Amino acid sequence: MEDNLNRQFSKLSRGQQQRVMIARVMINQPKIMFLDEPTAGVDVNAIDGIYHLLKQLNEQEKVTICIITHDVAKIGQFASRVICIENKDAYELSKEEIQNEIYYRHRHNVRTLQKGRTE
């Protein structure tokens, strides 16, 4: 990104813009970060880079990262926990259930979350 230091923000690619916005947030050393569709509009080749960056921040900087996304397949590769919200119900998906989610599209056979506990 250093070679883009003097470029206008609007002239950066969508992936580069996302990295800049993440860096701006990290200046404040947050304990938690909420991201809404952080890879929307990002080139397919840059998506993994953004998720790797977020995983690195989570592991090294101990930042909890909550991501809202429709891409269950991709987030399942990087997330330690996935909560799916559908019809006002929240479901925690295991790694195996994430794979089922990819193939069967939102046909949950999982535990409903209530008051922070699974039942």
Question: How does pLDDT run across 36-45, given as a tens digit for each residue?
Answer: 999 998 988 8
Look up residue 2 and give its DSSP letter: G
Q: How far apart are CA 15 and CA 85, in angstroms?
A: 26
Residue type, 40: A
Q: Which of 72, 91, 109 is the last residue of a domain?
A: 72
Residue type, 117: R
Q: Which of 72, 89, 111 is the last residue of a domain?
A: 72
Stated pTM of the model:
0.74
Query: Is residue 5 one of the residues assigned to a domain?
Result: no
Of the candidates 88, 83, 79, which has an alpha carbon nearest to the alpha carbon of residue 110?
Answer: 83
The backbone torsions φ and ψ at residue 114, rounded to the nearest 5 degrees and listed phi first, read -140, 125
pLDDT at 61 over 90: yes
